[in-house]
Structure 1
Amino acid sequence: MNILSSAKISEKHRTRLRESYPDSTFIFCRDMDEARQHIDKAEILMTFGEDLTAELIGQASQLKWIMVLSAGIDKLPFRAISEQNIMVTNARGIHKYPMAEYAISMLLQVNRQAKQLMENEKANKWDRSVRMQEMTDKTMLIAGTGSIGQEVARLAKAFRMNVYGVSRSGQPVEYFDRIVKQDDLEVLLPEADYVVSVLPSTSETKDFFTYDQFRKMPDNAVFLNMGRGEAVREKAILKAIREGELAHAILDVFEEEPLPENHPFWQEENVTVTPHLSGVSPFYQRRALEIFEENLQTYIDGGSEYVNKMDITRGY
């Protein structure tokens, strides 16, 4: 069985995989340009997903399974994959710890005025008039109640927060006090001190948040987006910030990445910009490969219960 990887895998993980599965042939490549010469012989492909095209899928006549070593699969050529009946799994869930820590740390820096304090420190300025806020007993609304949203909710409970959620099903999830369906989002907005978006990229989540919705939130509300940039128009965020409908926006994802140097977000005092790194962790590859190995054993054993098997008709 030929297992091809177009994702960079560290040498220690390569060695371990080869030793653990001696009956399989692993072909590790630096990128898809190198991997394409082997794709016609590959039964399994490991990739970050953005390097796959319909043309490459057409060449992969032996391919049975694609393991996407990330959570997002929105860049995959779904039609070509579906036509060849190729199974897709991903690494959904491995981001929950770093992304939840990111969310809490960013909200704390806004509440405790970290930007201003660091500027004062650089200027040797002793100023005790900086206005501090607390997160304790506030209300957080999380759009997306999967593994990441649930971990954010768990940490929010340490601050005694009321935690609301929005999901497709509206079904109860641990650590959430209340969950509503997506169509009922506006019912909860007037109570939300913090809105955290961890929405994936699907047809249902594009332009999910609007300026009119920001107007329904309290004036002290903070909006944090670490899901997908297309969940909200950047013009809507900018307008809400400038007109005082939002107190602050924390943005890790954008409609265009990298964010252009001349983008107005960079200059807005009440916007925090980070370069799509909320999910970065030194344990990323290890956790992704743990999911791959569990599924690989299922595949070898002829099983059917795979971790994170995707429904590509939904795009997630």
Structure 2
Amino acid sequence: MVILFSAKISEKHQERLLEHYPNEKFIFTNGMQEAGQYLEQADVVVTYGEDLNDSMLEKASKLKWIMVLSAGVERLPFKQIQERGIIVTNSRGIHKTQMAEYSLSMMLQVYRQEKQLLENEKLSYWDKSIRVREITGQTLLVLGTGAIGQEVARLAKAFHMTTIGVSRSGRPVECFDQVFTIEAINKTLPSADFIVSVLPSTKETHYLLTEKHFHIMKESAVFINIGRGDLVKTETILKAVKERQIDHAVLDVFEQEPLPEDSPLWSEPNITVTPHISGQSPNYMVRALSIFQDNLDKLIKGESDFTNLVDPTRGY
């Protein structure tokens, strides 16, 4: 079996795979530009999910399985994947710890006025009049109740927060006091002090949030987006903050990445911008390759109960 990596991994991880699977042929590359010449041989392609298009997939005539070493799969050519019956799995679930920590840290950052305190420190300015708040006892609304959303809610419970979830199904999930369907989102927004979105990019979530949704949020609400940038238009967020429809927005994902230097988001004091790093962790690759190896073992044995199987008709 030929296993082609367009996803760059360290020599340490390469050596472990070679040692663990001596009967399989691994081809490690630094990206799809290099990997493209080997696609015709590949039974398995391991990618970050952004570099495999229709024309490249056509070259991979032997391909059985695509392993994505991230959660995002929205750029994959799903029509061809579905037609050819290619298995797709991803690494969802490995981001929950670091992304939940990011979410809680940003809630505290906003409520404890850390941006202003750090600015005052640079200026050697002693100002005890800064108004700080407590996140304890507040209401958290999480858009997306999968592994990440559930971990955000679990950590929020340490601060005795009321936790509300919104999902496609609306079924009950551990760590959430209530869960509603996406269709009922208007009922949930007015009560939320924090809105955290971990939604993937799908047809259903594309520009899901509009101006009307920000109008019904609390003026004191904090909106945190760590899912995908096409959940809401940039100008909608800017308007909501500038017109004080909400108090603050924390954005780790954007419609265009990298965020252009001239974007007005950078200079808006009530917007916190981070460069799509909420999912970063020193344990990221270990966790992702653990899922890959679990599924590779199943493929070798002829089993079909793959971990994190992606439905090509839904795109997640």
Q: Which TM-score tier does this pair reach, normalised by the shorter chain?
A: over 0.9
Q: Give the distance between the partners of 2:122 and 2:249, measured in 1 at CA.
A: 24
Runs of 5+ unmatched residues, structure 2: none
Partner of 2:293: 293
Deviating 4+ runs (over 2 angstroms): none
Partner of 2:205: 205
What amino acid does structure 2 have at the position aligned with 1:53? N
What amino acid does structure 2 have at the position aligned with 1:217? M
Task: Tell me how many residue pairs correspond in the alignment.
Answer: 316
Q: Give the distance between the partners of 2:225 and 2:299, measured in 1 at CA.
A: 36
Q: Give the distance between the partners of 2:144 and 2:256, measured in 1 at CA.
A: 22
Q: Give the distance between the partners of 1:50 and 1:89, measured in 2 at CA.
A: 14
Q: What's the secondary structure of 2:88's corresponding residue?
A: strand
Residue deviations 1:97-143 (CA, integer Å, cap 9, x gap):
11101111111100000011001111111111110000000000000
Runs of 5+ unmatched residues, structure 1: none
Q: Give the distance between the partners of 2:92 and 2:283, measured in 1 at CA.
A: 14
Partner of 1:58: 58
Partner of 1:34: 34
Partner of 1:19: 19
Q: What's the secondary structure of 1:264's corresponding residue?
A: coil
1:1-316 aligned within 5 A: 1-316=1-316
Q: What's the secondary structure of 1:156's corresponding residue?
A: helix
Residue deviations 1:237-289 (CA, integer Å, cap 9, x gap):
11111111100000001111111111111111100001111101111111100
What amino acid does structure 2 have at the position aligned with 1:172? P
What amino acid does structure 2 have at the position aligned with 1:132? V
TM-score by length of 1: 0.99
Q: What's the secondary structure of 1:4's corresponding residue?
A: strand
Distance apart, 1:13 and its partner CA: 0.8
Question: What fraction of aligned residue pairs are identical, expressed as a percent?
Answer: 57
Q: What's the secondary structure of 1:36's corresponding residue?
A: helix
CA RMSD of aligned residues (A): 0.7
Residue deviations 1:167-200 (CA, integer Å, cap 9, x gap):
0000000000000000000101111000000000
Distance apart, 1:209 and its partner CA: 1.0
